[in-house]
Amino acid sequence: MSSPNTLTELLYAAPSEGIAVILPEAGIRVTYGALREQVVSLADALRAAGIGRGDRVATVLPNGLPAVVSFLAASIAGTAAPLNPGYRQDEFSFYLEDTSAKALLCPHGGAAEARRAAEGRVPVYSLQMDEGGFVRITDGPGRPGAGRTAAAPSPEDIALVLHTSGSTGRPKRVPIRHSNLAASARHIVETYALSPADAALCAMPLFHVHGLVASTISTLLSGGTLVVPAKFNPLSFWRTVRDCGVTWYSAVPTIHQLLLSRAGDERPAGAERLRFIRSCSAALPPDMMSRMEQVFGAPVLEAYGMTEASHQMCSNPLPPGARKPGSVGPGTGVKVGVMDSGGALFPTGQRGEVVIQGPNVVEGYENNPDANAASYTQGWFRTGDQGYLDADGYLILTGRIKELINRGGEKIGPREIDEVLLTHPAVAEAVAFGVPHPTWGEEVAAAVVLREPQNEAAILAHCKERLADFKCPKKLYVVKEIPRTATGKIQRGAVAAALTGK
C-alpha cells in the first residue's frame, strides 16, 4: 500500500473507476474519479472566495455527499471545521468565533440557526448536490469566481479543527494535521485489513472523528466504498447493509443496542457479508458484545479512540487474534502507557492514567497553554482516562479522571451545562452530572439550588433554547443545598451518588 501523508494524496490512492461513495436513499454511486473532480472543484471555489492555508471553513451539514466533499475540499483549500447541526444559535456563535471561521458552508435552504449566528460576521455559502451526485456552491456572497487553484497541502498543514469538552472552561480546540489524519487512517486500514473489496456503512455523524476517520478516510485510503445514509435509521439499516454489500460498520454502543433490540434472535438478512463490526467512543458492555456476535454472526471488535489522537489508539484484532471482552485491545500504531499523577510509568497490571504517543497524536491544543501543560508529560499525551495494561498488552479502561458525560459517544463538558443553568435568574447554584442510562450509556442530569420558586419545566426550556438537545439535562434535582464531600468540596460523582443513589 502506498503511504499518503495528506488528504489530497489519500484521495488519489485508489483507481478512478472504483466506487468511492454510495448514497443509498438517492441510489447514487460516486466513483473515485467523480469524487476527486468535485473535491478539487469545491477546493478551487473556496480558494477563489479567499480561503487560504490555515483559514477555517466551518461546515454545518447532515451526513451525505456534501459533508464528505466539503470536509475534503475545506481541508485541502484551508482547514475544515465541521460543526454539529444540532447546535443552537448561541453555540454556533461560540464555535464560529472560537475557530475564527472565514466561511460557513450550509445545506441549500437549511441550517437556519447557524446562518443567524454567522450574519454580518462570516460569509455563508450554500451547497447542493445535483441529481448526478455532484456537489457545488449554489449561492454565497459575491459567488466565488473561477480561475484560482487551491495548492496541495503539506503533511504539516492543519487539515481539521475539532473541539473537545474540557473538565474546566470552554471546549478546547484540537488542530489535526494532514499527517496525523493520514497516520490514523493507515493504522485503521492495517488493523482491519481494509481493501478495495470492503464497503463501510457510515453510521456516525460526519462532524466527529469517529465518522470522519474510522469510516470515511480509512475507507478512501483502502480504495473501498463508503455507504452514507442521511442518518442512522435502525429500520432501514439492514436493508442498506444487504443492498449495498456492506462488509463492516463502526458505531457507538448506543447504535449497536438499538440494532440489537430490533433484531430479536434472528440474524438480519445482509449480516452474512459482514467481516466484522467495530465499536468505539464509549464502553461496550461484554454481554452486549457477546449478544451481537451471536445475533449478527460477525466478530465484534472494540476500539478506543479520541479526537486528540485523530481517533484510533487501540483496537481488538481481527480473528485469529484474540478479542477480549471488556478490553479495548492493544495499541494500534501508538505506544500506550499507564502513568501516575507525578509522571512515572506504571508496570503491567497497575491502574493509572492512560497515556499515548504516536504519529496520529496532535502536538497540542490551540491557544491553550494551561491545557497543554496539564496534558503532555515527557512526550506522552494524558488521555484523562483511567485503566491498566494486561500481560498481553491489551488495555482495560476502568474509569475517567476527566469530568465528562459520555452520552452515546457525544462528550459533554458538565461545566457548560452549569453555566447555562446559572444564567437563569432563579438559579443560584448548579451542578450537572452524568447518570447511567440503558441506551445512551450516560444521560445528563443536574442539581440546582433556587433563589426563588420556579418550576422545573421553565428551567429546562431555558436550557433547550441555549443548548443542543443532547446536552440538555433530562432531569433536574431541586435541592436546598448541593451535597458536598467531607472536606466541603463539590464533586460531581458524589453529587450524582447522593441524589440518585447510583
Minimum CB separation of residue 432 from ligand AMP in Å reads 17
**C-beta closer to ligand AMP: residue 87 or 477:** 87
**C-beta closer to ligand AMP: residue 411 or 466:** 411
Minimum CB separation of residue 48 from ligand AMP in Å reads 34
Q: What are phi and psi of 468, to 5 degrees?
A: -55, 150
Residue 343 DSSP class: S
**C-beta closer to ligand AMP: residue 198 or 385:** 385
Q: Where are the alpha helices (DSSP H) in 300-399?
A: 369-375
**C-beta closer to ligand AMP: residue 92 or 304:** 304
Minimum CB separation of residue 423 from ligand AMP in Å reads 26
**C-beta closer to ligand AMP: residue 84 or 126:** 84
CA geometry: angle at 52 spanning 45 and 80, to 5°? 80
Pairing outcome for strands 79-82 and 56-59: parallel
**C-beta closer to ligand AMP: residue 188 or 280:** 280
**C-beta closer to ligand AMP: residue 9 or 293:** 293
Cell matching residue 212? 470522519
Residue 331 DSSP class: B
Minimum CB separation of residue 406 from ligand AMP in Å reads 6
Minimum CB separation of residue 306 from ligand AMP in Å reads 3
Minimum CB separation of residue 162 from ligand AMP in Å reads 8
What is the spatial distance between Cα 188 and Cα 215, in angstroms, rounded to a whole number?
9
**C-beta closer to ligand AMP: residue 385 or 416:** 385
Minimum CB separation of residue 354 from ligand AMP in Å reads 8
Does residue 92 contact residue 47 with C-beta atoms inside 8 Å?
A: no
Tell me which amino acid residue 421 is: L
Q: What are phi and psi of 129, to 5 degrees?
A: -100, 130
What's 242-302 look like in SS3? HHCCCCEEEECHHHHHHHHHHHCCCCCCCHHHCCEEEECCCCCCHHHHHHHHHHHCCCEEE
Minimum CB separation of residue 20 from ligand AMP in Å reads 25
Distance of CA 131 to the CA centre of its chain: 29
**C-beta closer to ligand AMP: residue 126 or 406:** 406
What is the spatial distance between Cα 389 and Cα 330, in angstroms, rounded to a whole number?
8
**C-beta closer to ligand AMP: residue 23 or 280:** 280
Minimum CB separation of residue 1 from ligand AMP in Å reads 25
Q: What are phi and psi of 35, to 5 degrees?
A: -65, -45
Minimum CB separation of residue 107 from ligand AMP in Å reads 24
**C-beta closer to ligand AMP: residue 256 or 424:** 256
Does residue 289 contact residue 277 with C-beta atoms inside 8 Å?
A: no
- In residues, how long is the chain? 502
Minimum CB separation of residue 309 from ligand AMP in Å reads 8
In DSSP terms, 432 is beta-bridged to 446
Cell matching residue 325? 471482552
Which chain residues interact with ligand AMP by CB under 6 A? 164, 209, 280-283, 302, 304-307, 328, 383-385, 397, 400, 406, 411
Residues whose CB is less than 8 angstroms from the CB of residue 175 and which lie 6 or more positions away in sequence, other chains included: 79, 158, 160, 161, 362, 365, 366
Cell matching residue 59? 461546515
Minimum CB separation of residue 449 from ligand AMP in Å reads 30
**C-beta closer to ligand AMP: residue 133 or 205:** 205
How far is residue 385 from each of residues 43, 185, 329, 338, 400, measured CA to CA in Å?
38, 23, 15, 10, 4
What is the spatial distance between Cα 175 and Cα 167, in angstroms, rounded to a whole number?
19
Cell matching residue 34? 467523480
